[in-house]
Structure 1
């Protein structure tokens, strides 16, 4: 895991560290950084071994790259969730206007609806 650090960026960070810490304190802080790195690596390996012990042989069969959260793009996930595999049936909207309803009833031979309270 490189966190996007290139060799040039590391050199710049080193030069800034020399100016901020001074040449007399730089070896001490470099050894502290190395000790911290070893400790974190040991903790990560310990957690990995513990998972291997608890999961047994299934641990090696898990595809860990599929579970990496950095690979997930929220836009892609939403797009895939919204896209259905089966086509959506088209439903004709109901006739809304009163005039269209009256015309449809007259075409079917039925009398038009009458509302006595409408006047």
Structure 2
């Protein structure tokens, strides 16, 4: 539930709550919040179990599209295009932070040396300056 909230955000919320509610009311507000979150979780679990019992195997078929939507939430278009274009080439796996390194660039050829002209190797034209 709180997957995207880090410790720094929780600390900011606690400090803001301390300033808004004050040190006297903050513990009771935190206890009230904890009780209500627990109740909501129990209601959701009970509803899920009741649906599973009543629907039987159809419940799993109902959850399949929801799981597909969760997979789309983690969709990385760069990785999908890279996999589509270079499906025979090994694609780098994503790092733990979710970013995929770019594919290796083809080697760049060395610049060609300029060919000497018929009048010699003139690097600049003195008449043009």
Q: Which runs of 5+ in 1 are unaligned?
A: 74-119
Superposed displacement of residue 34, structure 1? 0.5
TM-score for both structures, normalised by structure 2: 0.48
Q: Does 1:16 align with 2:26?
A: no
Aligned residues: 74
Higher relative contact order (CA 8 A, sep 6+): 2
Residue 71 (structure 1) aligns with:
73
Q: Which runs of 5+ in 2 are unaligned?
A: 76-129
What is the CA RMSD across the aligned residues, in angstroms? 2.7
Name which one, 1 or 2, has greater alpha-carbon Rg: 1
TM-score for both structures, normalised by structure 1: 0.51
Distance between the aligned counterparts of 2:69 and 2:58, measured in 1?
Answer: 15
Distance between the aligned counterparts of 2:46 and 2:69, measured in 1?
Answer: 20
Distance between the aligned counterparts of 1:31 and 1:39, measured in 2?
Answer: 12
In the TM superposition, structure 1's runs of 4+ consecutive aligned residues that sit over 6 Å from their partners are none
